[in-house]
């Protein structure tokens, strides 16, 4: 049986949710990154040490790095990509020297996670994050005006997108644009519309097949360094888990994960199992995936979504939605790991006092506090009923 470690994402000293709050939430591990170091720079040893000691001074431990972002040049294999890979390796060496062992990262093209609404009213008075494919198509076709966009959606979605766009005020357009392109917390990339167009343009001619070759090259370069430094790399799946903006997406479903892991079979080439990302694709069977990929799962994000269409979902309460969280936690407990498996309550609703506070979208204190409390209770119940 594996031992699960309760962790919490913390954005560093500027996060309105403090380390002291995290302790009160009952988590013991911190998930964080040096967000002030620009993408593509080496993480200096002293900076890692400094962050580590701040965390430890609060009685917590730095369990997972999320993320060490991969430079766009590495993903597109253009410009100085080899320099950026070498710097990535140098960061891994420094991370290893500080004794940090799990690293979550992603290889999503151009954009990390994205949503179309950050304050969607939820039935209980809280607000949630939402991804709506019709609104997204309205952005893609009418605001971004991407060439060929209208060939990538069904007729029904194109029609709905047209109606939605016609009814948008300039304010609505601005809000939708900044929600999609300005970058969500942790994204580390903050675009305006012209930069965003450029970033997407760089992927012209890179299909999934070619993109897999780029990931493979990256893995061949960095995994040996990760292994030598005792670091388990844990790639985060695509969020949302399907093709968007004509970009190559390669970690959206079960087969993608198999293909990805076979690019470089090694214990240090693993997965962040995000139930929210995989769970937004209705054909993904999450408990089966956990069983199949158990050995490669190094970190877990627990979150639930409810779909109102194949590509439209709202973030739900942690125990409600597409994913049977009972089965998921049972499978996680059943995994045989010789070390703690960290999980964190991923996102949460904006609720109670947080409705009137400044919060990082998805990362308010109280919604995640509720999520963690529910998940912890569920875990305890499962363990007790098994003993």
Task: Output phi, psi for 30, to 5 deg.
Answer: -110, 140
Q: Which is nearer to ligand DNO, 31 or 98 (CB)?
A: 31
Q: Cβ(313)–Cβ(304) under 8 Å?
A: no
Positions 219 through 238 that interact with ligand DNO (CB under 6 A): 236
Q: For residue 131, which of 351, 328, 323, 307 has the smallest C-alpha distance? A: 307
**Of 17-25, 55-63, 102-110, 249-257, which segment contacts ligand DNO by CB under 6 A?**
102-110
Asked if 209 is an active-site residue, the reply is: no
Q: Cβ(119)–Cβ(351) under 8 Å?
A: no
Q: Which is nearer to ligand DNO, 330 or 344 (CB)?
A: 344
Positions 316 through 355 that interact with ligand DNO (CB under 6 A): none
Positions 185 through 214 that interact with ligand DNO (CB under 6 A): 186-187
- Note whether 109 binds ligand DNO by CB under 6 A: no
Distances (CA, A) of 322 to 147, 241, 252, 271, 318: 34, 14, 16, 21, 10
Q: What SS3 state is found at 350?
A: strand
Shortest spacing between CB 114 and ligand DNO, in angstroms? 10
- What is the rounded distance in angstroms from the CA atom of residue 116 to the CA atom of residue 178? 9
Positions 56 through 75 that interact with ligand DNO (CB under 6 A): 66-67
Q: Which is nearer to ligand DNO, 94 or 275 (CB)?
A: 275
Q: Which is nearer to ligand DNO, 157 or 302 (CB)?
A: 302
Asked if 236 is an active-site residue, the reply is: yes
Q: Is the peptide bond before 67 cis (omega within 30 degrees of 0)?
A: yes
- Note whether 105 binds ligand DNO by CB under 6 A: yes
Positions 135 through 174 that interact with ligand DNO (CB under 6 A): none
Please report the DSSP string for 192-217 in residue order: -HHHHHHHHHTTTT--HHHHHHHHHH
- Note whether 131 binds ligand DNO by CB under 6 A: no
**Set 264, 274, 343, 354: catalytic member:** 274
- Parallel, antiparallel, or unpaired for β 341-345 and 29-32? unpaired
Task: Pinpoint the alpha helices (H) of 101-228.
Answer: 133-138, 155-166, 170-181, 193-201, 208-228
- Note whether 362 binds ligand DNO by CB under 6 A: yes
Asked if 268 is an active-site residue, the reply is: no
**Set 71, 268, 298, 301: catalytic member:** 301
Q: Which is nearer to ligand DNO, 153 or 264 (CB)?
A: 264
Asked if 346 is an active-site residue, the reply is: yes
Torsion angle of C-alpha atoms 77, 236, 308, 168, degrees rounded to 10: -50
Q: Could you give the count of Cα atoms lying within 13 Å of 184 in the half-sphere of its Cβ?
A: 19
**Set 71, 236, 268, 298: catalytic member:** 236
Residue 359 has which token pair? 């919060």
Shortest spacing between CB 271 and ligand DNO, in angstroms? 12
Asked if 11 is an active-site residue, the reply is: no
Q: Which is nearer to ligand DNO, 64 or 176 (CB)?
A: 64
Report the interface residues with ligand DNO, using CB under 6 A: 66-67, 104-106, 112-113, 186-187, 236, 301, 362
Active site residues: 236, 274, 301, 346-347, 363
């Amino acid at each position: 049986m594996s031992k699960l470690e309760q962790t919490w994402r913390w954005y560093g000293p500027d996060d309105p949710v403090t380390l002291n709050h995290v302790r009160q939430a009952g988590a013991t591990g911190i998930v964080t990154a040096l967000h002030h170091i620009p993408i593509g720079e080496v993480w200096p040893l002293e900076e890692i040490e400094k962050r580590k000691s701040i965390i430890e001074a609060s009685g917590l431990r730095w369990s997972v790095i999320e993320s060490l972002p991969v430079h766009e040049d590495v993903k597109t294999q253009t410009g100085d990509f080899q320099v950026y890979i070498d710097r990535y390796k140098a960061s891994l060496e420094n991370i290893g020297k500080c004794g940090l062992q799990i690293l979550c990262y992603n290889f999503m093209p151009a954009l990390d996670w994205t949503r179309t609404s950050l304050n969607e009213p939820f039935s209980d008075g809280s607000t949630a994050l939402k991804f709506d494919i019709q609104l997204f198509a309205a952005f893609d076709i009418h605001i971004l005006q991407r060439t060929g966009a209208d060939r990538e959606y069904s007729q029904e979605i194109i029609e709905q997108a047209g109606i939605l766009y016609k009814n948008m005020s300039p304010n609505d357009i601005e809000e939708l644009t900044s929600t999609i392109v300005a970058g969500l917390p942790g994204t580390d990339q903050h675009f305006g519309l012209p930069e965003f167009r450029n970033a997407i343009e760089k992927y012209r001619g890179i299909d999934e097949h070619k993109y897999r070759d780029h990931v493979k090259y990256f893995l061949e370069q960095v995994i040996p360094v990760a292994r030598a430094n005792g670091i388990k790399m844990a790639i985060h799946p695509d969020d949302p888990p399907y093709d968007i903006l004509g970009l190559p997406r390669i970690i959206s479903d079960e087969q993608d994960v198999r293909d990805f892991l076979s690019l470089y079979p090694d214990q240090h080439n693993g997965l962040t199992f995000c139930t929210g990302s995989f769970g937004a694709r209705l054909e993904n069977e999450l408990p089966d995936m956990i069983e199949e990929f158990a050995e490669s799962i190094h970190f877990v994000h627990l979150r639930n979504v409810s779909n109102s269409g194949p590509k439209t979902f709202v973030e739900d309460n942690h125990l409600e939605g597409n994913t049977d969280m009972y089965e998921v936690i049972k499978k996680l407990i059943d995994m045989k790991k010789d070390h703690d498996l960290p999980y964190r309550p991923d996102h949460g609703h904006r609720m109670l006092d947080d409705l009137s506070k400044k919060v990082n979208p998805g990362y308010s204190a109280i919604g995640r506090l509720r999520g963690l409390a529910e998940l912890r209770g569920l875990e305890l119940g499962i363990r007790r009923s098994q003993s």
